[in-house]
Amino acid sequence: MTRCPLLAGFVLALAWTAGCGAGDGPIRIGVAGPFSEPRGVSMRQAAELAAREINARGGIGGRTLELVFADDSGKDAVAVRVAEALVADPSVVAVVGHLTSAATAATIGVYGSGDAPVAVISPSASDPDLTGVSPYFFRVCPTDQSHGPRLAQWARQALRARTAGVIYVNDDYGRGVRRAFAADFSRLGGTVLEEDPTLPATPTVEPYLARMQQRGGLDVLLLATEVGLAERALGEMARLGLAWPVIGGDALVGIERSGALAEGIRVSAAYLPDGGGARNEAFVDAYGRAFRGQRPDHRGAGAYDIVGLLALALRDAGPDRRAVRDYLAGVGTEHPPFEGVTGSIAFDERGDVAARTAVIGVVRSGRLVIEAAP
């Protein structure tokens, strides 16, 4: 894709040459996420694939769709600067992002304020506290109020777990999954013996694991963390000889690439590529052909759908920020639901896809595959 110049400093900033906003030139969408990290790869690649397909079909009213990628490094302060740069660029008519709940929470106020606010749609920011915080914020993923209870129900009904321990990353995401899981697990008759907070840089969780072991062990352990910390926990469990069943939220998608350590782990996800359906199967096939046999994750599938939805909004409402936002707010009411690879997208009055639920995947031979659908 042809892009106007990209300027970089301590944090990404965007600047466009004269003529970037020409009426017959490309239509630009911002895409913001941690693209320098493994968790951001599928989001970027799937967005690229969607734009490539749209342009191959003639673009939007004959104009090319161009993506402006901005790496937020998964850090709140960087995400704010990225958002400020995207909002300040008049050629950017909408934004796909951010990937994490924390970065999303930090930037919603930037996107939704000022003289020219811009609609932003997240593929994977699942914190329930983000619901309804801005009329310019939308998301296509289920919230932690879906992930936590789904994991609790699976633990109680499929694993017959009576006791659980929780290790969670002490941020919006980890706290959200932990709260929702603990509430539902207790409601279903289980007992949460221990809930321990960590930080991404925590070097070890062995003291937590040892204490849980001393209390008589667990029937299931919830890791409401990201992949790196979960890998450390799994390694320490192996050294301690602990074989508790392990479950986790959608931040653990990618753990399947960790080898034998991850075998048998159950993960709650908004989307898994073996979910079936002609549209999804075509997407998975195209993604694999474009990116050397790789499989998309929920972040990528969500980004792919968002780019497709925004292309439809731009076609029908025009490349105007307010018009795009108003069109999105009517998807599912004034306008038909958007049928995407992740399912049907219809926004409620708070910008959520209320009907969206999670599936349970299990790691088998290096792949995360569906074990239980909703």
pLDDT digits (tens, 9 = 90+) for 354-366: 888 899 999 999 9
pLDDT score at 294: 95
pLDDT at 194 over 60: yes
pLDDT score at 20: 38
What is the average per-residue pLDDT within 40-49? 98
pLDDT score at 374: 64
Task: Name all domains of the chain by residue range, CATH numbers in brackets.
Answer: 6-141+275-356 (3.40.50.2300), 144-269 (3.40.50.2300)
pLDDT (tens digit per residue) in 296-346: 999 999 999 999 999 999 999 999 999 999 999 999 999 999 999 999 999
pLDDT at 219 over 70: yes
Q: Give pTM, 2 decimals.
A: 0.88
Q: Per residue, what are the HEC states of the chain?
A: CCCCCEEECCCEEECCCCCCCCCCCCEEEEEEECCCCHHHHHHHHHHHHHHHHHHHCCCECCECEEEEEEECCCCHHHHHHHHHHHHHCCCEEEEECCCCHHHHHHHHHHHCCCCCCCCEEECCCCCHHHCCCCCCEEECCCCHHHHHHHHHHHHHHCCCCCEEEEEEECCHHHHHHHHHHHHHHHHCCCEEEEEEEECCCCCCCHHHHHHHHHCCCCCEEEEECCHHHHHHHHHHHHHHCCCCCEEECHHHCCHHHHHHHHCCCEEEECCCCCCCCHHHHHHHHHHHHHCCCCCCCHHHHHHHHHHHHHHHHHHHHCCCHHHHHHHHHCECCCECCEEECCEEECCCCCCCCCCCCCEEEEEECCEEEEEECC
What is the average per-residue pLDDT within 176-198? 96
pLDDT score at 144: 86
What is the average per-residue pLDDT within 17-40? 79
What is the average per-residue pLDDT within 18-44? 84
